[in-house]
Chains A and B, each alone.
Chain A
Amino acid sequence: MRNKVVAGPAAAVDGVADGSTVLIGGFGLAGQPLALIDALLEQGARDLTIVSNNAGNADFGIARLLANGRVRKVVCSFPRQSDSYVFDELYRAGKVELEVVPQGNLAERIRAGGAGIGGFFTPTGAGTLLAEGKETRVIDGRTYVLESPIRGDVALIGAYRGDPYGNLVFRKTSRNFNPMMATAATLTIASVHEVVPVGSLDPEAVVTPGIFVDRVVAVQ
């Protein structure tokens, strides 16, 4: 029987290469796969491009990767938060690159990356700094901006329950970017609070079908 469950976070992040683009789920700390990020820190990959909604909170998760000098570039919608002091200091010192993307564009670019879409026209950001230099098109009298897909070498997903086939369900607002990110990486690694037997997740309620998931690991 297919079994995507691995022994622990270290096994889950095995093989992540230097220079990888890593999609990391979460909105703030909700749905951010902290155990996988900590394991990636231990694993040692560096020169990473991190794609996530935020640029780390306090000294947890993404902020730890940043503080340890593992991150070359952050692609996110909202780096500046009350507790983003690690990122703020690195950014002001010129030690990390930043690409700011409107939140809906970030979600849709990742969705496009996972869905094989080569780009899309969106009204979000038209006429603003964040659309400068981008192709635009007027459709039915409204200006749209061409946005490109985002894919990752790796996606780190924070889910609630998963089965050995990789089917995932999420909990409340911790779903956020996780389902799109799961579709958009070469290697998708999901942490779950609980691994449940095949057949015990309601097929009607599965949010991320296992086809998108390569490794599943249980963390508390």
Chain B
Amino acid sequence: MATKVLMEALSPTMEEGRLVEWKKAEGDPVAVGDVLAEVETDKAVMDLQARAAGLLLKQTIAPGMTVPVGQLVGVIGAKGEDIASLVSGSAAAPAPPRNPAPAVVPTVAAVATAPLPSSAPSPAAASVTAPVPTDGGTRVKASPLARKIAADRGMDLRQIRGSGPEGRIVVRDLSTLAPSLGAAALIGRGSGEPYRDVPLTQIRKTIAKRLTQSIGPIPTFYLTTEVDMERIAEAREALNARAEAEKGQKISFNDIVIKATALALRQHPACNAWWQEDRVRYWNEVHVSVAVAVEEGLITPVVRDADRKTLREIAAEVRELAAKARERRLQPVEYSGGTFSISNLGMFEIDQFTAVINPPEAGILAIGSVTAKPVAEQGAVVVRRRMRVTMSCDHRVIDGALGAAFLKTLKAMLENPLALVW
């Protein structure tokens, strides 16, 4: 029997998708997991993959068209199969905007009974990269262990692509650790718990309520400090000279700021937290979101466990994530789950600015340019390279003194680069 190909929710917030390009022509054979088309979502260009094997009998929309999630875009079936009723039926039915009713969703049974290629050995049996059936919320294939971990960590399985048989989500898909690491590695690292939830005290509730009334919905305040970057600049020049000689990864000021921020957050867990309405989630892991400008706006890919990574690792990862962001190839798991953000406009010669908090995170740093300027030092005016850092704080989570203490640690780290390795 034929299987409908529907526009799928390829990102958590996607309501409609633009079909950029068909990758299979009408009449082409397709296997489960084959890329049928490229679809532009609200966040990225993603692959729409086949849920059934057979021939792509019909493309019901043309490249460039935008349709809501759940609408029919094509049909997969056996050669010569009559699909007129499928195609016309769908055109008559109004496509639901989101979370389509189960009736129009290709069920697991439909996939299972779809015709397989007639040759005896089934290559599908060995394919690895079938996507997870997002199915508009009806059914996600995931292992019980993956479900438990995802539920505990507040991860939405519909956003994750499975690498197990038939696109089943397994534990390795939840982690950006090396794929060779199994569940035990994911679970058993570090202090164990990824975060600690603390219910709101009465005073916190009152602060949250009063401040939200005043400046809402996120009552933000700003802290600015100026950091002497002279020693960091020298250290960076030395490291990059070496990287040049070894043809290794060069590092930017921003990479250093990411590393220093991550280390400072370790010392100030109060700033490495999420506002969760009835509680504050204090993270034991540090995942730094880095704002990247893309053609249509900006996106914040996440450098996971940035406190544990070396500068070179951070530098390489940021390059890769930024490149993927610009090509709109970021996977949802790569731009979600951050615990604190950094936005840097230094390259645009901005001295100082304020950045908008990326909820549920409670803080973001706005980084200005590194500029040589006269400063007073021991009674004399000297020229030093300086950088202005402004932190936006969600006052429901971070009080002024806590934010200031964090900034002081960050400033001390940047002014004494040895602190980065200490």
A and B part of one assembly: no
The chain A residues found within 8 Å of chain B, CB to CB, are none
- B residues near A (Cβ < 8 Å) are none
